[in-house]
Amino acid sequence: MDEVLISIVIPAYNEETLIGQTLDRVRRAIDENQNGLFSWEAIVVDNNSSDKTAEIASRNGADIVFEPVNHISRARNKGANAARGDWLLFIDADTHPLPGLVADTLDVIRSGRHVGCSSTVKVEGGPAWYRRSLEGHNLEMRLLKSGVGAYLLCSTTAFRAIGGFNTDLHALEELDFVKRLKAYGRKAGKFYTVLHKHPVITSGRKGNLHSRFDMSKSLTIAFWHLLTKRIVKDPGKLSYWYADRR
């Protein structure tokens, strides 16, 4: 098998406190699996930050691209468009894989049978209600072969073919993306899977910054717009994702 290049795309808005740690943890997890059969690059998308996110990410070996509109789909697409890899791995700025998850992800790539994958999650820190809420969707993700944007892999060919993330969506864009990715995969005779033996580790900080009501309200609005295909004209209504809290 020829050497594979994996592009890790990390959208980041005012993440100066975490981006260096995230890049270091990603690097260590990858180093434990390095066997000369793949190489990787890290692309941090500075999504119009007002802090030192870009500077810290650059010092930690990432390539930096800038997206002036604070919008997660635009940020992911901007990073993907700058990527050189055969595969794209989208990871949130407060999220990191363990070495076992990287190994499982490499198995997906090497199998030649998959168009992409996601992972179940384990929440680190934050209040108990928040951890239960996020981790409570793990079984559902496995059964429905759905995915979360915190850790999402797809082939670059598939990403280009389906047009990337839908920029009409300000939230839950990963659900729409995975739906289209699976449809593309079916036509190509390939599968989408959800890895679960080594869940990706994500921060529980949002549980400290948002109430259950705030989270539920944002999710309800986001699901409504996803189902009705209406555009959210005011992202401020989706405060769980777009409030300037870090």
Q: Is residue 125 part of a domain?
A: yes
Q: Is residue 218 part of a domain?
A: no
Q: How confident is the model at residue 230 (pLDDT cuts 50, 70, 90)?
A: confident
pLDDT digits (tens, 9 = 90+) for 146-167: 988 899 999 999 999 999 999 9
Q: Is residue 165 part of a domain?
A: yes
Percent of the chain with pLDDT over 90: 80
Place of tokens 């280009």: 160
Q: Is residue 65 part of a domain?
A: yes
For the segment 99-127, the average pLDDT, to the nearest whole number, is: 97
The answer to whether residue 232 scores a pLDDT higher than 80 is: no
The answer to whether residue 134 scores a pLDDT higher than 80 is: yes
Q: Is residue 152 part of a domain?
A: yes
* Cα distance between residue 136 and residue 53, in whole Å: 31
Q: Is residue 213 part of a domain?
A: no
Query: Residue 8 sits in which domain range?
Result: 4-204
Q: Is residue 215 part of a domain?
A: no
Span between the terminal Cα atoms of the chain, in Å: 43
The answer to whether residue 1 scores a pLDDT higher than 60 is: no
pLDDT reported for residue 246: 59
Q: Is residue 117 part of a domain?
A: yes
pLDDT reported for residue 245: 58
For the segment 112-136, the average pLDDT, to the nearest whole number, is: 96
For the segment 83-105, the average pLDDT, to the nearest whole number, is: 97
* Cα distance between residue 234 and residue 33, in whole Å: 43
pLDDT reported for residue 225: 82
* CATH code of residue 100: 3.90.550.10
Nearest Cα residue to 94 out of 44, 25, 42, 19: 19
Based on the structure, what is the number of domains in the chain?
A: 1
Residue 46: CA count within 13 A, CB half-sphere: 17
For the segment 162-182, the average pLDDT, to the nearest whole number, is: 95
pLDDT reported for residue 16: 96
Dihedral sign (CA 109, 113, 116, 120): negative
